[in-house]
Structure 1
């Protein structure tokens, strides 16, 4: 993706992430950089100015103040840099974004349905607007690769971070669009950087860790970035713990998307289907294999006697016999509310809400519906901590 001595556009200036990435590119790859940020060079904070001076002594680094969402300004700076380099642009690293720190203490005001137009625009402009400007830039540069720094919020959503989640989801969409045209493009969805980045000083670190999102220190992040660039996968999730129960539903969703491994299991006589499914999933996970495991009464076979893959996939997609009805009034109440909110025909006691289409908005709606039906407050956080009918019902103490 980047040859030795290659040329790179880094958007987002010299904040924590930009500085970490820029230092590695210059020192390890001899890259020539054009760093574009919104702050004029004369007004850079002392730390950023010192970092720029150090980088300039190590390699060829240019810093320009420009609005990354302004396609004309961005094209002008890149063209000038290419003229100075004497060659075209090899790689775009799009790191630009708006800090989310100002909303940490007022999360309820930043749910997507109540978000202000001004804040939504503020979040979308550097990421979505930046991608649109980069797209214009790439039109005349078919060989230029693109790497976008996204967030896990773009995939998982985030109550109280609706605009931020939407902005990152846009990045993921742009990467898919560029890759579909044959361009080398990636969107890297990071959890949280330890120190630099949008989450610096976040009071939500403990909650994120509980949900399986690790802090990534700069050294580990650099290694992960190198691995991602070599992997060549369009969309990568970095910093999520695949063993965490809150993450697994996203890694083995019920939709059989390309690349998902499907495993059908037939329990022995007298065996508990749910215990069998859990045991198989745990064994596979222990080997680093994350699959959609479903229990079925039989394995359909074709005329040659081999397993009929199409029939097995159809069985898995329709539930594969793995449905277990809710037990008791509380589970039935929880399941009923989930069915109404998620608009699904039924939900078993072991089914994850999030594998049935629950996102941050629906999670909020489900919490409100349960609170109303129970006469006691059910928080959105409890849905993430207990994402199945059985688990959530067990945490609800209010009598029915």
Structure 2
């Protein structure tokens, strides 16, 4: 189909697991206009890491190799039945992992990543034509599901509506909470006990030895619940099966998981395995082992990193996207399932600590645990399948999320575009004017300190440091851990502060905070001169506006001023004019350049319609 529509296609058959990253990079060393990957359709288990599949590992290795090879081609991944367009579809968990990986790559390697296209199980000619249409598009849609009925773009939409679709969830009997001794597991355990749960089973790898376990047990007991704390790795199917037989649950809350962060180009297969263990393997075992039981709720804790992607959390996002797919599969099978993609929890969650300011600057605010569990109850009452619960500062979030590439994904969130525009046009301009005023009023030493502090503070926020001291003035940005992603972000932030569009390579062109500060000083000096020139022009305009037209006409100046205005309008329209008159001629000047060269007496003579040699 690609050939039929005019593309020159070269097939490259590879085994990414056998070749590895370096071998793939060597194969990709040629010149390509685009790379269309079908590796994401190979859903067989990885030979050495059975918790992973070849589709996900192959996509990761291919994207890393393409970056290593320096290719300028856009990389698109094609999956088969990886997402659900309708409630009846059962998405592939392996394909969902590829989509989770792709969302992270799009943020970290925006110039390389093209997007994701999902095909049905047996695509017909119409589907393949739509695939070609997506690949030949302008790049706006980068997450598309193609079906016989049409092409569907992925959107994040407001949950909307009021509770009452179903009945409120009331805990009964025994409720299992995996990761129950952790911060999030502890909060849901308190909520369950407070709402009448008779018996709460908390699992973690360390069981009673987990920090704070004894205190949590006492607290839940005071709320009227009997508590069992079990040391159980939910990735161990046999151990989990024994636990479920010993304590048959009426509901499951799977909160277990291992957070992971790190640059995509540094992601290894071993690192992915660590992330997938408890979260993905545990969810899969819970699904298989409880299908014959009468459950009131089956709740999976996921993350916004799996819904919209998160730079530095590609593997974590992929793992969470897999749980969303599992929830959709259970719903299609008529089983209870709710996957909740959380934002930032307070009360001991990821929203606490030194990284809070870093995340807040990206538009993610910390949620109070009480509000979060209230939203959990609402999602269960509404019988949501996949829902995100987060406290977003929409203007900040939209600016950060689309800093490197547009994203229709969040375009339907009410107020995103308008709020972002107001923020950029309002507060951004105010900050810009304030900085310019301080810079203009300062002396040479103060100017240097002002800009150096600005650069260090913005770089520290982007890198996640608590203060500017985390960015030494004379240390190279590369040594501080700047990537292409963070480099673009700091350039955008500094550009908004000084009112000048800065190149995304700013921190690589000027490799230290001192060098960037010196560069910004030159830009602000030029802006200050421009502002001064505009101020002088405005004062002249104000003076002329204060004179009555009759006074100008009586002084014989009105016709000359109108002629000057006509010359200015003509020069603006054509950006060209007749040459200046030679010395000794009586021809009046006709260009703005010539008028600029006249002294005061000559300008007055011209305004009065006189000629002067």
User: TM-score band, normalised by the shorter chain?
Assistant: 0.5 to 0.7
Q: How far apart in 1 are the matches of 2:314 and 2:281?
A: 17
Please name the residue that 1:333 is paired with. none
Please name the residue that 1:271 is paired with. none
Which of 209, 228, 232 is the equivalent residue of 2:360? 209
Q: CA RMSD in A?
A: 3.7
Please name the residue that 1:194 is paired with. 346
Contact 1:138 1:144 in 2 (8 A): no
Please name the residue that 1:234 is paired with. 385
Per-residue deviation, 1:19 = 1.2
Alpha-carbon spacing, 1:229–1:66, altered in 2? closer, same or farther (3 Å): same
Please name the residue that 1:50 is paired with. 215
Matches within 5 A, 1:360-379: 379=484
Q: TM-score, normalised by structure 2?
A: 0.39
Contact 2:364 2:393 in 1 (8 A): no
* 2:254 equivalent to 1:94: yes
Please name the residue that 1:28 is paired with. 195
Which of 503, 511, 514 is the equivalent residue of 1:396? 503
Alpha-carbon spacing, 1:383–1:227, altered in 2? closer, same or farther (3 Å): farther
For the pair shown, the structure with the greater C-alpha radius of gyration is: 2
Unaligned runs of 5+ in 2: 1-167, 423-481, 510-613
Q: How far apart in 2 are the matches of 1:122 and 1:394?
A: 41
Q: How far apart in 2 are the matches of 1:133 and 1:245?
A: 39
Q: How far apart in 2 are the matches of 1:2 and 1:79?
A: 24
Per-residue deviation, 1:8 = 1.4
Per-residue deviation, 1:222 = 2.0
* 2:337 equivalent to 1:185: yes
* 2:182 equivalent to 1:15: yes
Q: How far apart in 1 are the matches of 2:350 and 2:265?
A: 22
Alpha-carbon spacing, 1:11–1:382, altered in 2? closer, same or farther (3 Å): same
Per-residue deviation, 1:164 = 1.7
Please name the residue that 2:372 is paired with. 221
Alpha-carbon spacing, 1:254–1:282, altered in 2? closer, same or farther (3 Å): same
Q: How far apart in 2 are the matches of 1:143 and 1:197?
A: 28
Alpha-carbon spacing, 1:131–1:247, altered in 2? closer, same or farther (3 Å): farther
Per-residue deviation, 1:149 = 1.0
Q: How far apart in 2 are the matches of 1:130 and 1:152?
A: 19
Contact 2:181 2:213 in 1 (8 A): yes
Alpha-carbon spacing, 1:282–1:159, altered in 2? closer, same or farther (3 Å): closer
Please name the residue that 1:74 is paired with. 240
Matches within 5 A, 1:1-400: 2-41=169-208, 43-45=209-211, 47-57=212-222, 58-82=224-248, 89-100=249-260, 110-141=262-293, 143-201=295-353, 203-241=354-392, 243-244=394-395, 246-247=397-398, 254=408, 282=418, 379-381=484-486, 394-396=501-503
Unaligned runs of 5+ in 1: 83-88, 104-109, 263-277, 287-376
Q: How far apart in 2 are the matches of 1:255 and 1:48?
A: 40
Q: How far apart in 2 are the matches of 1:205 and 1:261?
A: 24
Per-residue deviation, 1:119 = 2.1
